[in-house]
Amino acid sequence: MGTTKFPPPEAVNMANDAVESDKGIGIAVVLGALAVASAGASLATAGTVTSAWGFAAATLFGILLVAAIHVYW
């Protein structure tokens, strides 16, 4: 029987991939909440200019949310 080579312990240790801060989680939660609130405003005021601004804000916050997740995670 041949010997099986396993990766060194540091290669499988998930603790080495820890994040220094939770800034990314906080930013994602805030931007997600703003996006949901803006979408709600858009839905609540359907057919008005406020609805259009709500949709624009929801889209903007959604884009910023995805960008923040990519930057901080």
For residue 72, the model assigns a pLDDT of 87
Give pLDDT tens digits for 28-48. Answer: 999 999 999 999 999 999 999
d(CA 29, CA 62): 11
How confident is the model at residue 1, as a pLDDT?
Answer: 59
Cβ–Cβ < 8 Å for 38, 50: no
Residue type, 52: A
Regions of the chain short of the pLDDT cut 70:
1-2, 4, 6-19
CB contact at 8 A, 38 and 61 = yes
CA distance 65 to 2: 50
- Taking 3-state DSSP, the helix, strand and coil percentages for the chain, each rounded to the nearest 5, stand at 75, 0, 25
